[in-house]
Amino acid sequence: MSSRASVIAGNWKMNGTAASIDRLLTDMARELSGLEQENREILVFPPHIYLQRVVQMLAPSMVGVGSQDVDAREDGAVTGAISASMVRDVGGKYSIIGHSERRALFGESDEVVADKFERCLEVGLVPIVCVGETLQERDAGSTVEVVTRQLGAVTGRVGEKFTGALVAYEPVWAIGTGKSATPVQAEEVHGALRDFLAGEDSGQAEQTRILYGGSVTPENAGALFKQDNIDGALVGGASLKATSFVEICKAAEKV
């Protein structure tokens, strides 16, 4: 890890109840107490319906809150969707965009991801854009081509306004499988993503935090965070337990 402040983000996906979330946050507060926050950001991404509750509960803490997705449109007749400005309105500051589950289950194209990204910038939400290859794409040797195409759809759209956004490299084959990319595999792709950003704007590339996601655990986090171009993690399963999530946060501190 470099001088860039690290980011540990918990993506809760479609999990939890009001009661279990209250417990998780109470446990997290206990585990996090006394932990030095310097040079590290901790974020959580609850299901939309609990977003406001989580914002309120975390208000006195340093933990930031965001949404797992937003719609690309501003408002109007889009049944079931929520807008980026609604997330802002209830106190969210970030949004995950283009998670592979959204791409696969909801058919989101690179174009739609870029629309959503742009919409986040318009209302002042910090987007975390996810990129990642399937196992088939990796086996075909097209990993870098796929992830730079996915990232390029966004940078091509927003240009220098990309500054301040975050990137998450999440190989699809590593998500929820217990089979994380090795530190070497991940670093290779993170380096390629940073080189790609540098091709567009070198200052921007140096500043951009690139998180790794896909079966991150307290056991493998330390070795991943030691890599030069890995600036933190987007954590799914292990973020649902305060002890494992905070262990991952602590691993970022030790690097």
Is 48 designated active site? no
Q: List the one residue out of 62, 63, 5 whose CA is nearest residue 39.
A: 5
Applying CB under 6 A, does 167 fall inside the site for ligand PGA? no
Applying CB under 6 A, does 237 fall inside the site for ligand PGA? yes
In DSSP terms, 210 is beta-bridged to 167
**Which residues have CB under 8 Å from 255's CB, separation 6+?**
1, 6, 222, 225, 226
Applying CB under 6 A, does 236 fall inside the site for ligand PGA? yes
Is 170 designated active site? yes
Applying CB under 6 A, does 235 fall inside the site for ligand PGA? yes
Stretch that binds ligand PGA, among 28-36, 142-150, 190-198, 229-237 (CB under 6 A): 229-237
Applying CB under 6 A, does 66 fall inside the site for ligand PGA? no
Residue 224 Cα to chain centre, angstroms: 15
Least distance CB 132 / ligand PGA (angstroms): 9
Least distance CB 74 / ligand PGA (angstroms): 27
Task: Determine which residue in the list 143, 204, 208, 215 makes contact with ligand PGA, applying CB under 6 A.
Answer: 215
Applying CB under 6 A, does 16 fall inside the site for ligand PGA? no
Q: Which residue is nearest to ligand PGA (CB)?
A: 236
60 vs 18, 29, 55, CA distance in Å?
19, 10, 9
Task: Determine which residue in the list 216, 246, 248, 249 makes contact with ligand PGA, applying CB under 6 A.
Answer: 216
Stretch that binds ligand PGA, among 26-34, 137-145, 209-217, 219-227 (CB under 6 A): 209-217
* CB-nearer residue toward ligand PGA: 131 or 197: 131
- What would the two tokens of residue 47 be? 């299901």
Using only the alpha carbons of the chain, give its radius of gyration.
17
Applying CB under 6 A, does 214 fall inside the site for ligand PGA? yes
Task: Determine which residue in the list 8, 112, 175, 211 makes contact with ligand PGA, applying CB under 6 A.
Answer: 175
Least distance CB 209 / ligand PGA (angstroms): 15
Stretch that binds ligand PGA, among 21-29, 108-116, 148-156, 214-222 (CB under 6 A): 214-222
Least distance CB 83 / ligand PGA (angstroms): 22
- Contact positions vs ligand PGA (CB under 6 A): 11, 170, 175-176, 213-216, 234-238
Active site residues: 99, 170
